[in-house]
Amino acid sequence: MPKAVRYHANSVVYFKGDTNDRVYILKSGKVSLNYNDIETGQEIHDIINTGEFFGVKSALGRYPREETAVVLSDAAMVVFSVPEFEQLVLKNTRIIMKMLKVFSNQLRRMHKQVRNLISEGKDGLEPEEGLFRIGQYYLKSQKYHQALYAFRRYITYYPSGKYASEATTHMEEAEKALQGGGAPASMAGMGTGGGKPSQSAEQREELSETAKKYYNAVSLFSQDNFQAALEEFKKIVQANNSEEYVAKSQFEIGRCHLGLTQYDKCIEHYTQMIKHYPRHPDLRDALLYVGNCHEKMGNTGKANGFYKKVLSMSSENEVIYRKAKRALRELEVSK
Amino acid sequence: MNVDLSMFERFAVTFQPGDIIFCEYEPGDNFYLIQSGRVQIVKILGDIEKNIDILQPGEIFGEMAILEEAPRSATAVSLDKVKALEFNRENFEVLMKGNPQIALKLLKLFTKRIYDQKRRFMILTLSNIEARVADVFLMLAEDQPTEDPDEDQRTFSTKVEDIAHWAGMSYAECKKVLNHFAGQRRVEIYEDHIIVKNINDFQRFVSSQRKKEKAE
């Protein structure tokens, strides 16, 4: 049973280095957790608020206390053993979720600190560059399957990134190596035998031919060559060899129109696209672009409507939500 | 873990051996619970691919992406044919609410990871490179329960490059320190393992060094 206990001011609940498997929740009074910052050695005093748990990490992780818990003014708390604590939170996942967020933040901070010490001065890579470098690493070590994955992701996230055209070229190299090589070299070093995705060779070739064309067009787009990109994307749509790439190209065609400042064409194209693909993965981006077009054409009312529509379809932690929010704000300012 | 996951069958995904499940630096939206097969977690540092961990069925990975928006911090590759349940931010909360056991498991995973990271950090704060290498052995010893607590000698099947990595130094630098230790008969270096003759000696060495550096 969880126990209610009282501590007088200036007493200590536990010392740094102690091992015990108790978790505490502060009911009233004031408790401070004292420890030295591992980076600077500076003494830190974290004040616990009433209603807050403490001692959770070391109790759950079964390692020695990392801080000394000092009572600053007479305090009442409830003490749980680990099994009691587990029972409590299992009935109340909200507590777990909250703690998960706190812990994951701490963990990220630790990762960063460790990284800073390991690669002194040499800061962590920007995600864009990092992703590209990983592709290069796999290509160099002839793990083409993996290289292809990394470059594909690069192109997906950074279609107009600084390495977009290089990534496209590398992808072609990797695809060629995979098709020519028979037994894929990508499996070397994985310690396992074959096992390719279960597609017939023919189908794969067809698909990769279309993929090649698609990425070529993406590369043109990334170099701001919108007219040429537009024509390439249109060809992919006409050839109609791969449902996936047709849908992707349809989306890109709209972006080309936008790039070419053909706003009415862009709106018309996306209107058609949305009718045809009501569940297109890039639906919200398309709506955002339609809003952009209306804004450029001076229809701020319509633009406003589309941005709000995007907002209503997104949750706050999504990139698209922030994009729409920003567009709305700018619309407001320019009025 | 006694959790009935059959209701989550619709979230099942499969990967072929060698498939990248996700790549370091990618924005991450999904996290995974392995049902069968093994997953290797690697990091690419310059020209080397470093093994971070090999995960077994029942284990969770990619979970950090779910809690905050940040790029993946490592690459996950399937070693075998892997079947996993894939969750995203939207269904994460549902999963957690419906399966507090998984949430609790995740919470414990985090406490362990935070501790491990702190321990690694402690090694790196030592400026004396010999003490740093010795402290790597202490960390490894803490993770490796002993058969006989009175026995001073410990055997580690750890590669020099891994020790160099933990100690945050180059391979050559680390090798030099190890050779120096070997010259003092404090360690014996073999092809596939390293013997520390007296782990308590290392313990004393590291703690005196820590005190000294703190006083400086």
CB atoms closer than 10 angstroms to residue B134: 26
Mean pLDDT on A90-117: 82
B contact residues 119-138, partner A, Cβ 8 Å cutoff: 120-122, 124-125
Kindly list the residues from chain B whose CB atom is less than 8 angstroms away from the CB atom of residue A66.
118
Highest mean pLDDT, choosing among A54-58, B115-119, B149-153: A54-58
pLDDT at res. A181:
58
Question: Would you say residue A120 has pLDDT above 50?
Answer: no
Query: A96, B96: Cβ pair inside 8 Å?
Result: yes
Of the candidates B146, B145, B151, B124, the one whose C-alpha atom is nearest the C-alpha of residue B135 is B124
Of the pLDDT bands very low, low, confident and very high (cuts 50, 70, 90), residue A204 is very low
Mean pLDDT on B64-83: 82
Structure ipTM: 0.74
Q: Does B1 touch chain A (CB under 8 A)?
A: no
pLDDT at res. A182:
47
Mean pLDDT on A231-240: 91
**Residue scoring higher pLDDT (A24 or B122):** A24
Query: A128, B25: Cβ pair inside 8 Å?
Result: yes
pLDDT at res. A186:
43
Of the pLDDT bands very low, low, confident and very high (cuts 50, 70, 90), residue A235 is very high
A contact residues 80-109, partner B, Cβ 8 Å cutoff: 86, 89-91, 93, 96-97, 99-101, 103-108
B18 → closest Cβ in A105, A134, A190: A190
Question: Would you say residue A311 has pLDDT above 80?
Answer: yes
Residue of chain B nearest A188, judged by CA positions: B18
Question: Would you say residue A39 has pLDDT above 80?
Answer: no
Interface with chain A: mutation pick from B111, B123, B207, highest number of A CBs within 10 Å: B111
DSSP letter for A41, please.
Answer: -
Of the candidates A237, A13, A109, A280, the one whose C-alpha atom is nearest the C-alpha of residue B64 is A109
Distance CA B197, CA B174 (A): 18
Question: Would you say residue A69 has pLDDT above 90?
Answer: yes
Q: Which residues contact B187 (CB under 8 A, 6 or more apart)?
A: B178, B181, B194, B195, B196, B197
pLDDT at res. B68:
62
pTM for the structure as a whole: 0.60
pLDDT at res. A113:
77
pLDDT at res. A26:
97
Question: Would you say residue A196 has pLDDT above 60?
Answer: no
Query: A130, B25: Cβ pair inside 8 Å?
Result: yes
Average pLDDT, whole number, for chain A? Answer: 84
Of the pLDDT bands very low, low, confident and very high (cuts 50, 70, 90), residue A30 is very high
**Distance from first CA to last CA of chain B, Å, rounded?**
49
Mean pLDDT on A94-105: 86
Distance CA A146, CA A139 (A): 8
Mean pLDDT on A305-322: 84
**Residue scoring higher pLDDT (A138 or A322):** A138
Interface with chain B: mutation pick from A67, A93, A129, A139, highest number of B CBs within 10 Å: A93
Of the pLDDT bands very low, low, confident and very high (cuts 50, 70, 90), residue A207 is low
